[in-house]
């Protein structure tokens, strides 16, 4: 789908269908030409509502205002509404709030809304939409900076396609995407986008003393990998390490999940997949930030060699971990990969992303990322970027000493689960904090993306299935750090 800007009035652009965003509930604005028809249809112009007027070849989409997050979801809804039609060329005016970020949000919405995952369908849908053309004519007669608008379109295209790249990986079944395949995807990405890549295989992982990660992987026929992708521009403005949980499938291990909870566990690689998507975007955008992406790619299965509740594991940083539940495996993988990342890179910022706990979904809902940190400023930056720029919902969850005490073990340095059923997202974050060294203590932020990474129905600009959660959020955060 080609998205372009033309320095023409909307009426002078040749396209089969016009997209009109309706802000004024009375339909009194420049681009609403079918007020009578809209009233007959009882179109209320509520946020994300649509009305296709075939006779005039226009689709109307309601928006509460011109804020980016509203335009993004409205653009996605417009695309979804016309996907089954034969319209192939579309046009739209420039809807500007304060600057060209509104156009950026619309482009993201168009691309994210058009996404379909049909790898396993015998009959593929035809994507008939060939092009979307923006007019420089603006909704509110505000002057458009053409160069900035073109840059916004180009950037949005990279971020949205990188999000879809992540969605594809997450949606791929565990029999087609296991640790070796995830490493192959990373290797191919590095060659394609000029990144450096290093992949540790089992013997090298053992040399690095990642015994917690290796224990999780032990019962699977698919051997683990630890991936390290590097984007190294000259004179970087900051150094950032990203760590992603890449559980290509999680059965729960010997603490076996109920069968209904095992469905969708292909999505347990969402954190690692997001790291790959972010590295793709960073490379194409050539951000002046040195970025290192680490992924612990593992499969958690059952078998005669499976690790067990009551085992005590020695992590890479030397701390011993009492295993009380083998389904709390992601934090074991992250503990070792976080230690490895800190060994390899002295970063200014350290972010980890993981589908870590169902407790986070219970606590903040399935549409919101929960973030935790030892430093309020580090986490607040991500919250603000999420709400104001990327459109991803983010909320802070605070650490406290009472929940930390619930992780104490009588026989090891720490337990892999707490002794209380409450505060599970925070206790998982507190567990990870034990594997952050003093140099990175106030530079680290943990993002629990268990809720929004995979939802089994459409929401906002996201389809049913993988959303690519975290890609837009972290790319926007890196851009913020580069200023």
Torsion sign, CA atoms 275, 276, 281, 287? positive
Select from 352, 341, 340 the least CA-distant residue to 244.
Answer: 352
Alpha carbon dihedral 415, 402, 357, 354, in 10-degree steps, equals: -80
Q: Is there a catalytic annotation at residue 483?
A: no
User: Of these residues, 72, 91, 331, 472, which one is catalytic?
Assistant: 331
Select from 3, 119, 21, 109 the least CA-distant residue to 61.
Answer: 21
Residue 353 and residue 339 in contact, taking contact as beta carbons nearer than 8 Å: no
Total residues belonging to the chain: 483
Residue 200 and residue 226 in contact, taking contact as beta carbons nearer than 8 Å: yes
The values of phi and psi at residue 294, to 5°, are -115, 135
Q: Is there a catalytic annotation at residue 331?
A: yes
Residue 17 and residue 82 in contact, taking contact as beta carbons nearer than 8 Å: yes
What letter would DSSP give residue 267?
Answer: G
Contacts 24+ apart (CB under 8 A), 30-38: 30/139, 31/93, 31/139, 32/60, 33/58, 34/58, 34/60
User: Of these residues, 33, 257, 319, 396, which one is catalytic?
Assistant: 257
Helix residue spans in 235-306 (DSSP H):
259-262, 270-285
Helix 101-113 / helix 68-82 crossing angle, nearest 10 deg: 30
Cα gap 69→386, rounded to integer Å:
10
341's enclosing H/E stretch is helix 330-344
Helix residue spans in 133-178 (DSSP H):
146-171
Q: How many CB atoms lie within 10 A of CB 297?
A: 32
Rg (CA), the chain: 23
Residue 453 and residue 330 in contact, taking contact as beta carbons nearer than 8 Å: no
- How many Cα atoms are found within 13 Å in the side-chain-facing hemisphere of 465? 18
Record the tokens describing residue 43, joined without a space: 């179109």
* Residues pairing with 4 in the sheet: 133
234-245 per-residue burial string, b: 16 or more CB within 10 A, e: under 16: eebeebbbbbbb
What are the catalytic residues? Answer: 257, 331
């Amino acid at each position: 789908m080609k998205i372009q800007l033309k320095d023409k009035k909307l009426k002078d652009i040749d396209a089969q269908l016009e997209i009109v965003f309706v802000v004024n509930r009375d339909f009194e604005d420049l681009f609403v030409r079918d007020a009578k028809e809209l009233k007959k249809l009882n179109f209320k112009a509520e946020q994300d509502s649509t009305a296709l007027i075939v006779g005039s070849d226009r689709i109307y989409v309601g928006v509460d205002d011109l804020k980016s997050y509203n335009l993004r979801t409205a653009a996605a809804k417009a695309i979804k509404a016309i996907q089954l039609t034969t319209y192939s060329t579309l046009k739209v005016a420039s809807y500007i709030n304060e600057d060209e970020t509104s156009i950026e949000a619309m482009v993201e919405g168009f691309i994210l809304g058009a996404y379909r995952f049909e790898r396993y369908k015998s009959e593929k849908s035809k994507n008939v939409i060939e092009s979307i053309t923006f007019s420089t004519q603006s909704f509110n007669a505000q002057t458009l900076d053409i160069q900035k608008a073109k840059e916004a379109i180009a950037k949005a295209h990279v971020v949205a396609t990188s999000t879809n790249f992540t969605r594809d990986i997450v949606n791929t079944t565990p029999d087609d995407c296991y640790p070796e395949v995830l490493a192959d995807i990373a290797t191919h990405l590095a060659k394609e986008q000029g990144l450096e890549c290093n992949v540790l295989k089992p013997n090298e992982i053992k040399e690095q003393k990642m015994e917690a990660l290796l224990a999780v992987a032990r019962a699977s026929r698919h051997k683990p990998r630890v991936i390290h992708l590097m984007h190294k521009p000259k004179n970087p403005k900051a150094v950032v390490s990203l760590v992603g949980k890449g559980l290509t499938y999680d059965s729960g291990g010997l603490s076996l999940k109920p069968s209904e909870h095992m469905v969708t566990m292909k999505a347990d690689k969402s954190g690692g997949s997001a790291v790959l998507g972010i590295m793709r975007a960073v490379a194409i955008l050539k951000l002046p930030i040195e970025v290192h992406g680490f992924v612990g790619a593992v499969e958690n299965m059952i078998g005669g060699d499976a690790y067990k509740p009551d085992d005590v594991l020695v992590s890479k940083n030397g701390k011993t971990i009492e295993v009380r539940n083998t389904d709390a495996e992601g934090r074991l993988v992250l503990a070792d990969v976080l230690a490895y990342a800190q060994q390899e890179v002295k970063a200014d910022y350290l972010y980890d992303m993981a589908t870590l706990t169902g407790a986070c979904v219970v606590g903040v809902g399935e549409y919101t990322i929960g973030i935790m940190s030892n430093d309020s400023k580090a986490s607040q930056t991500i919250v603000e970027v999420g709400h104001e720029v990327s459109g991803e919902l983010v909320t802070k969850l605070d650490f406290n000493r009472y929940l930390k005490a619930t992780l104490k073990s009588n026989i090891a340095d720490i337990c892999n689960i707490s002794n209380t059923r409450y505060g599970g997202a925070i206790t998982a974050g507190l567990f990870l904090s034990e594997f952050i060294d003093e140099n990175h203590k106030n530079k680290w932020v943990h993002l629990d993306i268990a809720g929004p990474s995979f939802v089994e129905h459409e929401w906002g600009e996201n389809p049913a299935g993988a959303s690519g959660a975290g890609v837009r959020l972290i790319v926007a955060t890196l851009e913020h750090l580069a200023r």
